[in-house]
Structure 1
């Protein structure tokens, strides 16, 4: 089933109900031991983790009378949307229906269909969820990376304390005992491969070895690391619920208090252990390793833990099997009906499904209408521009202008350049990248030139600078001549080189013809009348000027061409750029 706003609403109030009931039970059981209260807290956390699956998989239960919802379906159908999905998450009575907001733009602009809150609710929920999961995974990765860098602790006093604590607690699994300079106080984590890592300062305090080992081994024996990760997952999934965060903080506090009780039950002196906690609080790890337990209490919980340690009247025994079973059954009995509960009667749910389908179809229709309005307005603007120019557009011209992206601004700019706007020319110019500025430059250099000639010139790279340079050698050159010269590679450098070699070039056609027969396959090397070699002696095209203005051009592959050009006095060369 797809996550939607109504499912999130169901998660919100049902998770708040489970967490709230669990916190209430913890308050009612405040005279019980920390182990028993910790069992209640973690039963509530794992009930929260099971809630999404239970909502999706369990059959729906609608105990409220159908008559209460007799008017719900007409209201929902009239509104065009409904809060229920018809699935197992159809929870509360339908709140205010979600409409399709349509924002009107400026005058004459088409309407813009905005997404509803229900459309963006899954995205808004997913962003904090991903961030919180990422932080938790980063913390776990840092723990295992630190374990790889830590050293094995071999001091006999610490190894003896570990063996004694394991014997007293009946813990038969091996536990790694390491030391790391990255820590300020001891921590522990792991289930299958439990690990206790000490700080160098803790290792030096051998007199506190028994108390520290007993505290950390109590966390390991009670599988507190799995409980910690479960609490982090619950906070990530239900990040929007303050009751879930309160329950997670209380469960962490109760895990530490239960470990403190395990230390005191191992015949560790209470005042000495309280002194240890006060000293450890000054060397807290500053929450840089949030995925592990440690001896050092947070400043917010130090007073509460010290008070409990010094209070000899409190119950400190472990939770009994009956207490554990009763806590689980109580929360299961609450979670199962709550997950299946729906405040909407079956008849109203069926109407809700129909209403939701109508709402979805209405939103799609509105979006399609908005897109059609945008296209219609664009066509209307183009028709208005064409009408202003006195030339109505054909459907083919409208389609072509739309296809290449012609805008009314393009047409106005071309009109500003005193260009008689023709739809076919506009389409061709837009498709080839010719804009109004280029047309204006060419029109000033070549008055009366055709747009088609400009498009052809632009396609081979003719620009205003090239045109001015060639005009300095051939004042009467036309735009079509420029196109041919540019296509053949004739530029100012080539013209100067030929004139230095004694070649008379009277017209652009002479330069084009000469370039056509002398174009080398390797870089061009000009040779004078004596046939001297180029700079590197390469065999390239040669040009000889004979009597009567006969030019003989021999290409590198042996081809020979002759051009007869009447001799005339050579005009003075313009200064080089």
Structure 2
């Protein structure tokens, strides 16, 4: 059960992440803020996906190829016979290693996030407010449009500027950066952009989505791409207040600084420094970000992820033609013999009589027995152990009973009356009717929403197998009608 749920969430989350990543690549010529909005929509889709999968009713989509239906009926007969002959022993619950491995990976990602938050809390608690007048003046001027308090703290453990929190928001800088007031405008502009855009909250949501889908490589790519585009969006907003050359020099000064896993930092690794500096110095005009488009992308997440969460891929049923007159025939419930009759049938031995040779007897008997067994299996409720043994004994006794040859007469069971055996064409047509009725019963059971999906698919396969057998017998009956 856990493995099936993880597989379903795996391919659905991979599809959601792939769509978000492809949409971000399609917006390469647009501002980074629009790409961030698309990637955030993908993160929100990942967070909503498990809840919607568990809440929404399943909508079956038959896209998988159907398995062979011809072996479905013998397999079910074998399972039923094994369950009657062998008592089922209680199975002791074991350890679900798949669930344990999944929880272990999720716990590791959450533990890493918890360690980062603990370090941020510790550094913030021991930090002191800045005393440099230039930094305080630049912060007051940049935070004036915001309606939330913003603190600027200095910590000796900080190697690169960081921002965290919502209200109040906190900007952490190190003592070495504080002694460079010429970099105050670039640092404050970048970190204020993070605070205004709520990047720290979006980063936490991305880490939670990564903990849920840590085994999906597309989820890791989505989170890494979101972090990179978030920094580019903050750079583009900071360049509205700072010159490009000064901002590039500040990025070079903080390159390779130690960041933290649970905060939005200005630091850039040496590997990505050249690309980021080149993007900062690129003065090519870009189309402005559309707030309406960003709001539409985020607001349309439930509408886009709900159909994907409700979709359940199943096998395509095998279609077979059943006449309309057979669908209108009522299906009465089979009568169950009383317990004393069943016990008598079990105890009474049946004499074995020699079978008269006939060119058509064996095939018609097998078709009739298969139709009766399928009809009884389709309409009867799950039998108890005693009833199953009685039914099995009755089937053995009927199989041992002599079958008259063509033109012979045999007395019916329990009476001395004589009746004539029906011609082979009529027997085949009667078997065709019984097989089609049994196929309809299996098909009706397959539409029961209370049954599990695999059992319903098994009913569909058995119904298709019975319908194919009925068509084959009907063709043989028509051929024999021309002969006789």
TM-score (norm 1): 0.51
Partner of 1:341: 311
- Return closer, same or farther for 1:219/1:164 CA change in 2, 3 Å cut-off: same
* Shift of residue 307, structure 1, vs aligned partner: 1.6
1:321 paired with 2:291, answer yes
1:126 paired with 2:66, answer no
Deviations 1:477-526 (A, max 9, x none): xxxxxxxxxxxxxxxxxxxxxxxxxxxxxxxxxxxxxxxxxxxxxxxxxx
- Return closer, same or farther for 1:177/1:342 CA change in 2, 3 Å cut-off: same
Partner of 2:38: 40
1:302 paired with 2:273, answer yes
Partner of 1:209: 184
- Return closer, same or farther for 1:216/1:75 CA change in 2, 3 Å cut-off: farther
How do 1:423-502 and structure 2 match up within 5 A?
A: none
**Aligned-residue RMSD, C-alpha:** 3.2
* Shift of residue 64, structure 1, vs aligned partner: 2.6
Distance 1:119 1:78 in 2: 28
1:15 paired with 2:13, answer yes
Match of 1:271 among 228, 239, 245: 245
Distance 1:303 1:79 in 2: 69
Unaligned runs of 5+ in 1: 82-112, 357-577
Partner of 2:129: 152
Answer yes or no: is the 8 Å Cα contact 1:187–1:295 preserved in 2: yes
Match of 1:172 among 129, 147, 161: 147
Answer yes or no: is the 8 Å Cα contact 1:308–1:314 preserved in 2: no
Match of 1:135 among 102, 109, 112: 112
Deviations 1:149-187 (A, max 9, x none): 1111122111110111123xx212111110000111111
Distance 1:152 1:325 in 2: 36
1:231 paired with 2:222, answer no
**SS at 1:192 equivalent:** coil
* Shift of residue 325, structure 1, vs aligned partner: 3.0
**SS at 2:313 equivalent:** coil
- Return closer, same or farther for 1:121/1:65 CA change in 2, 3 Å cut-off: closer
* Shift of residue 130, structure 1, vs aligned partner: 0.8
Deviations 1:272-318 (A, max 9, x none): 21111111114x11x4x21011111123332221121011114274x
Answer yes or no: is the 8 Å Cα contact 1:174–1:193 preserved in 2: yes
- Return closer, same or farther for 1:13/1:73 CA change in 2, 3 Å cut-off: farther
- Return closer, same or farther for 1:80/1:30 CA change in 2, 3 Å cut-off: farther
**SS at 1:265 equivalent:** coil
* Shift of residue 330, structure 1, vs aligned partner: 5.3
* Shift of residue 62, structure 1, vs aligned partner: 1.3
Higher relative contact order (CA 8 A, sep 6+): 2
Match of 1:163 among 134, 137, 140: 140
**Aligned length, in residue pairs:** 316
- Return closer, same or farther for 1:76/1:245 CA change in 2, 3 Å cut-off: farther
TM-score (norm 2): 0.60
1:280 paired with 2:254, answer yes
Answer yes or no: is the 8 Å Cα contact 2:40–2:298 preserved in 1: no
Partner of 1:291: 262
* Shift of residue 67, structure 1, vs aligned partner: 9.9
Larger radius of gyration between Structure 1 and Structure 2: 1
